[in-house]
Structure 1
Amino acid sequence: MKIVVIQGPNLNMLGHREQNVYGAMKLEEIHSQMEAVAKQNNFEIEFFQSNLEGEIVDKIQECLGDADGIIINPAAYTHSSIAIRDAISAVALPAIEVHISNIYRREEFRQKSMTAAVCTGQISGFGPFGYHLAMISMMQMLGELDALRKAQIAQQQVAQA
């Protein structure tokens, strides 16, 4: 099974920008930890980061038929992008929205997520550890969905016999 991790604008600057808000960990370090968890659990993982809204929409659309789940930090686009929201909704894959900071304790304009309502869940405020929580959650969800599909197939085979 494959998980695609999509990172929005300015996340390539982690470790450099506003360390008091986002911490000192770089995006590459977060991805390295996620990759280790995926490998230990026999999941394929792919990483994508862009500062451009259209590229993020394209990547979400590419997940259709290529991925089983999406972990996304839309970053600043969380609060403004109907296009990203619509793309997540259109692919209809399990999706978890992640935010390093607690967006509900920040400026008022950051407290509204345009994308959360079309995601399976949201993890906010746990720092880089939020990505680990998202990995555990996504692997659990995908495992349950896989077991359900297998049970349905077995039930259909019994009914046809």
Structure 2
Amino acid sequence: MSDIKPVHVLNGPNLNLLGVREPEIYGRATLADIEALCHEAGARHGVGIVFEQTNHEGVLVDLIQRAGQEACAIVINPAAYTHTSIALLDALKGVDVPAVEVHLSQPAAREPFRAPSYVARAASGSISGFGPMGYALGIEAAVQLARARQNHPVKGK
């Protein structure tokens, strides 16, 4: 049994196409493969995982808000919304749990429009360019952040 709430792993648009869409950039792992990796990482760190994906920005906002109530931390791959969504930025700023931004590729090394991240402004940290392993690293970071907060609570965010 875990001493903390689960980590919510939230995935944005087109990640349901992993393994098929641009494998030269995103690799051959499917979203189901990444979900299994996340559950393994959660088990190693003694925490449950809630894993979700949506292609809809408003639904992702709802998932962030729900995670603010139910999770110890958020690991989020906002995909293309990284570069466009002030709504996700505001949602992450509105919840009182740490968030770790994860990307399979290295957005800053790709097209210039992919370099800025609205999500990074609200995230505790970002992990990118490590493929699926980035999710496991994100879960480890999220659990460490959540446990540190549990042991040393701070007022506000």
**Fold in common (TM above 0.5):** yes
Matched, 1:94 2:102: no
Matched, 1:77 2:81: yes
Structure-to-structure mapping, 1:27-46, within 5 angstroms? 27-46=31-50
Matched, 1:126 2:130: yes
Among 5, 10, 35, the alignment partner of 2:9 is 5
Structure-to-structure mapping, 1:111-122, within 5 angstroms? 111-122=115-126
How far is the alpha carbon of 1:102 from its aligned partner?
0.4
Normalization by structure 2: what TM-score? 0.91
Aligned partners of 2:141 and 2:99: how far apart in 1?
10
Q: How many residues align?
A: 150
Partner of 1:148: 152
Give the letter aligned to residue 99 of structure 1: H
Partner of 1:159: none
Identical residues among aligned pairs (%): 42
Aligned partners of 2:117 and 2:19: how far apart in 1?
24
Gaps of 5+ in 1: 153-161
Partner of 1:16: 20
Q: 1 or 2, which has the higher helix percentage?
A: 1
Give the letter aligned to residue 95 of structure 1: A
Aligned partners of 1:137 and 1:91: how far apart in 2?
18
Query: Is the Cα contact below 8 Å between 2:75 and 2:100 reproduced in 1?
Result: yes
How far is the alpha carbon of 1:125 from its aligned partner?
0.8
How far is the alpha carbon of 1:38 from its aligned partner?
1.0
Aligned partners of 1:40 and 1:102: how far apart in 2?
26
Gaps of 5+ in 2: none
Bigger Rg, structure 1 or 2: 1
Partner of 2:58: 54
Deviations along 1:6-57, one digit per CA (max 9) or x if unpaired, are 0000000000010100000011111101101212322111011000000000
Normalization by structure 1: what TM-score? 0.89
How far is the alpha carbon of 1:69 from its aligned partner?
0.4
